[in-house]
Every structure is written in C-alpha cells, then in structure tokens.
Amino acid sequence: MSLQNLVEMLNKQKLVDGMVHSQQMHKHDFVASLLQKQHDAELLNFIAKQSSTELGGYLDALPLDDAKKLWSKLPSERENDVLWEISDERRCDLAGDRQPGFEDSKINVYELIDGRLKNLPISGRKDLEGAKPIWVDLINSTKAERVFVGSHFGVELPDPIEATDLEVSARFHVEENDDIHLHSNFLLDRDGNSKSVPVAFILHGGILFSLRNEELSVFRLQRRRALTQPGYVTDCVDLLLDLYGADVEVSADSLENIYAKLGVVGRHVLSEAITDQQAAGILADIAEEEDQNGRIRSNILDTQRALSFLMRGRLLTPDQISDSKQILRNIDSLNSHTAFLFDKINFLMDATIGFININQNKRVNQLTVFSVVFMPINILAGVGGMSEFSMMTEGTPWPLAYGGFLLGSAFIGLVTYVLLKHFEKKRLKKTI
C-alpha cells in the first residue's frame, strides 16, 4: 500500500466519522464505537504489512494530525525502530524528547586512554556526542542506525551481509578519500552450529569501524586484552591486525578440536568391528569435521588475502608489517595442518566405507551358504511333492514315510554344511 492509499484510507475514515457524528440515530455511541474499532483494525493491519523504513517515510509525509493518529496505533515494540527512520522535527512532534536507542542492535564505542581501551556506554543518539573513539563496533545494526552513526563520523557504513563478493577488488580497496575498506569472514565455532560470519571493516579518520550481525569470540578476546593490557594497541590499524591475529588463534584451536574428534573416530573405526548403523553415524561425524576443516581453511585464506592487501598497499608501519608477517607464517602452518586433516578425513572415510563393504560381503556370503545348504533339500522337497513319491511309499504308513523324508533332508543339509566349512578352512590355510 502506497502513501496515496494510506491518505485515502484516513480521509475515508474521517468522512465516515463526520457523517456518523452529524446524524441523530438510535444507539449513536454504539455505532461510533464499532466504527472506531473497524478503523483501528484497518490501521493495525496496514502497519503490520509495512517496514519501519516505510512507516517512517509515511509519518514524515503525512499532515501532523494524520501522523499523530498513525503514530498512536504503532505497537510499542516497533516505536524505536520507526523513530530511527523519521526526521528530527517530526520526531519531536510525535515523541517529544524521546530519542531512538540501540535496543535490538548493539554498539560498542572505545576510546584510547593511557594505552588502554575504555568502553563508552552507548544507549542512544545523544551518547555519541563528544566521543572521540578509536574503535566503533556495530552488531546487528539496522540501516537507519548505520546511516546515523556514519553521518555522525562522516563515513558511509555498509551492510556486512551485502559485502560478500569473492573478488579482491570488491572486498579490499581504498576509497578516494583514503578510507580503507576490508570485508572478511570470521569463524563462529559452536558445537553443531559452526559458520563463517561476514565482517565489514572501515578505517576512517583514525577510527576502526567494524560491522557484523553475530557476536564473535574473536572480538570478545580482543576487547578483553585491550581493556586490561596497557600499550596493547596504539592506533586503529593495530586493532585491526590484532583482530586478524586473534581469528588465526581461534582457527588453530578449532583445528585442534577437529584433530581430537578425528582421533576418537579413528580409534572407534580401527579398534573393533562396527555395524552399518555405527558406520553411518561415523560417516556423519567425519562429514561434519570435513566441513568445519574446509570452513577454517577458507577463513584463514581470506585473512591471508586481507593482510597481503594491507602490505602491498604500503598501509602499514614497519612494526605492523612485522606483525603481519608473523600472522602470515602462522597461517602457512595452519594451511599445512588443514591439508593433513583432509588426508586423515579421507583415510577414515575410506576405512569406514571398507567396513561397510565387508559387512555387506559377509551377508552375501551367508546367503550363499544358506542357498547351497538348502539346494539338495529343495530337490528332495520337489521329489516329495510328486506323485511318484506316493507310489514309492505305497503300503508304508505316511507318518513313517514323511518322517524318514524329513530326517533324510536334514541329514543331507547337515552334510552339505559340513563339507562347505571343510572346503572353506582348506582355502584359508592355502591363503595363509
């Protein structure tokens, strides 16, 4: 529904209300109450179908009385999001002194004081006034919040989800105003929910801006170090390099966990016979570890590309170049380890599939033995079902005749089974 449709709906409601109030009718108040409920339902239905951005645009464009009416019907849980989308003047008209706050999202602002990072409490727009941060970290921010924070510091902040191109020129580049843009993937390692989280970095005016939609252990680790260790960072570039270095450390820990899990799987596979059901579970575990190993390899290669870009662009000081080279050496060692884990995964998968094939061969062998054992019995059963059998046993009581037939069949089956086992033992002795 467009703004024009909304205006038509509101005008129609005003017209109907005017007609009802001008009429002298029976149960006037009751009819007016029903109409009011109907109008409220229409507005609530309209609001539910609109995004916060659209509602903000409508509130700015509508006459003040209509805007107040629409604002009064907004659910309380949506008011903050809509406040971000409307102009300051209209916000004062509708909500007075109320300012939009960072509710569902989270913003962390850090200043560098005496060699340590100091976290500034940020709950609303006014808290950013006078702040001189070295690091601004936005988590799960809306477009309106990014626009406000960006305009406050004079930088355009992108959506981290949209910055996922594979080309280096799109992920790592320097703007005309010397802003450095980097879009990297960081590992989120959770049991059963491991994934790569895109993070957008912008270096602007001595401030590191980071944008992401998930909380990451790498960032918690970095904050803890920088808050407690004096001189740990000196500028925004140090912060960025330390984040990349911490990501490599987290990746190394995850690789150690993969190796430990594969060790458990390997002992299970190689130490005892496994059933098909157990083998299926083992294959699922191996596939999960293979996916995790591949994700880690992709992430550390992404970090390698980011550091190479910073070094090629001569954007680092000599000390920062030395730190970057150390991180790159760590990445090279992790690459070798991921290759080793891929080989181990392939070996365990082949071994598990081999056990499945062995189990299937055993079942086929058993079926073959049964068919050979029962083949003479089937022949006798065919003879017994013929009329000649009755002629041969004429004069013999049928319990005796058929009892002897059954005993003979059992004897022949037993002899066949014993002979098969004997020939199998001889074959095994020859192979040994």
Segment 277-332, tens digit of pLDDT? 777 788 888 888 888 888 899 899 989 999 999 998 788 889 899 999 999 999 99
- Label the pairing between strands 135-139 and 106-113: antiparallel
Residue 2 confidence (pLDDT) above 90: no
pLDDT of residue 169: 62
The number of beta carbons lying within 10 Å of the beta carbon of residue 202 is 24
Mean pLDDT computed over 148-172:
77
Residue 307 near residue 328, CB atoms below 8 Å: yes
Mean pLDDT computed over 142-166:
81
Mind listing the pLDDT tens digit for each residue in 395-410? 566 677 667 666 766 7
H or E element in which residue 227 lies: helix 217-228
Q: Taking the chain, what is the end-to-end CA distance rounded to the nearest angstrom?
A: 83
Q: Assign 384 a pLDDT band (cuts: 50, 70, 90).
A: low
Mind listing the pLDDT tens digit for each residue in 60-70? 888 888 888 88
Task: Return the sign of the alpha-carbon dihedral for residues 314, 316, 321, 325.
Answer: negative
Mean pLDDT computed over 80-94:
81
The number of beta carbons lying within 10 Å of the beta carbon of residue 160 is 24
pLDDT of residue 381: 61
Mean pLDDT computed over 246-259:
89
Residue 205 near residue 238, CB atoms below 8 Å: no
pLDDT of residue 391: 52
Residue 212 confidence (pLDDT) above 80: yes
Q: Assign 80 a pLDDT band (cuts: 50, 70, 90).
A: confident
pLDDT of residue 347: 87
Question: Which 8-state DSSP code applies to residue 158?
Answer: P
Residue 357 confidence (pLDDT) above 90: no
Residue 382 confidence (pLDDT) above 80: no
Q: Give residues with Cβ within 8 angstroms of 64, minimum separation 6.
A: 93
Where is average pLDDT lowest: 19-23, 219-223, 262-266? 19-23
pLDDT of residue 378: 64
Burial of 37 by CB count in 10 Å (0-12 exposed, 13-18 middle, 19+ buried)?
Answer: exposed
Q: Assign 118 a pLDDT band (cuts: 50, 70, 90).
A: confident
Backbone angles phi, psi at 110, to 5 degrees: -125, 135
Where is average pLDDT lowest: 7-16, 250-259, 422-431? 422-431
Mean pLDDT computed over 236-241:
90
pLDDT of residue 86: 82
| The two structure tokens encoding residue 109 | 């602002």
pLDDT of residue 402: 63
Residue 249 confidence (pLDDT) above 80: yes
Nearest to 7 by CA among 37, 43, 50: 43
Mean pLDDT computed over 237-262:
90
Q: Assign 182 a pLDDT band (cuts: 50, 70, 90).
A: very high
* Mean per-residue pLDDT of the chain: 79
Burial of 429 by CB count in 10 Å (0-12 exposed, 13-18 middle, 19+ buried)?
Answer: exposed
Q: Assign 420 a pLDDT band (cuts: 50, 70, 90).
A: low
Cα distance between residue 201 and residue 398, in whole Å = 95
pLDDT of residue 389: 54
Question: Which 8-state DSSP code applies to residue 396?
Answer: S
pLDDT of residue 30: 58
